[in-house]
Amino acid sequence: MDPSRLNACQAQRDQMIRTQLVARGVGAPGVLEAMRRVPREWFVAGGSVERAYEDAALPVDCGQTISQPYIVARMTEALEPGPQDRVLEIGTGTGYQTAVLALLAGQVYTIEWYAKLLVPAAERLAALGIRNVTFRCGDGSEGWPEHAPYDGILVTAGAPRPPLPLLEQLAVGGRMVLPVGPPEEESLLVIRRTAAGYEQRELLRCRFVPLRGREGWPDASMTDP
Ligand code: SAH
pLDDT of residue 82: 98
For residue 80, name the pLDDT band (cuts at 50, 70, 90): very high
Which residues are CB-neighbours of 35 under 8 A, at least 6 positions away?
A: 13, 16, 17, 21, 69, 72, 73, 100
pLDDT of residue 223: 53
Whether the pLDDT of residue 1 is over 80: the answer is no
pLDDT digits (tens, 9 = 90+) for 9-59: 899 999 999 999 999 999 999 999 999 999 999 999 887 888 999 999 999
pLDDT of residue 5: 57
Which residue from 125, 126, 122 is spatially nearest to 114, judged by alpha carbons? 122
Whether the pLDDT of residue 3 is over 80: the answer is no
% residues pLDDT > 70 (the chain): 94
Task: Say how many residues make up the chain.
Answer: 225
pLDDT of residue 32: 98
Which residues are CB-neighbours of 182 under 8 A, at least 6 positions away?
A: none
Which residue from 81, 89, 100 is spatially nearest to 174, judged by alpha carbons? 81
pLDDT digits (tens, 9 = 90+) for 138-170: 999 999 999 999 999 999 999 999 999 999 999
d(CA 36, CA 78): 18
Which residues are CB-neighbours of 138 under 8 A, at least 6 positions away?
A: 111, 113, 225
Quote the distance between the C-alpha of residue 184 and its chain's center.
20
- What are the pocket residues of ligand 1 if the criterion is a CB atom closer than 6 Å to any ligand atom? 64-67, 90-91, 93-94, 96-97, 111-114, 117, 139-141, 156-157, 209, 211-213, 216
Active site residue 4: no
Q: How many angstroms is it from 24 CA to the middle of ligand 1?
A: 25
pLDDT digits (tens, 9 = 90+) for 183-209: 788 999 999 999 999 999 999 999 999
d(CA 110, CA 140): 8
pLDDT of residue 46: 81
Q: What are phi and psi of 80, to 5 degrees?
A: 50, 55
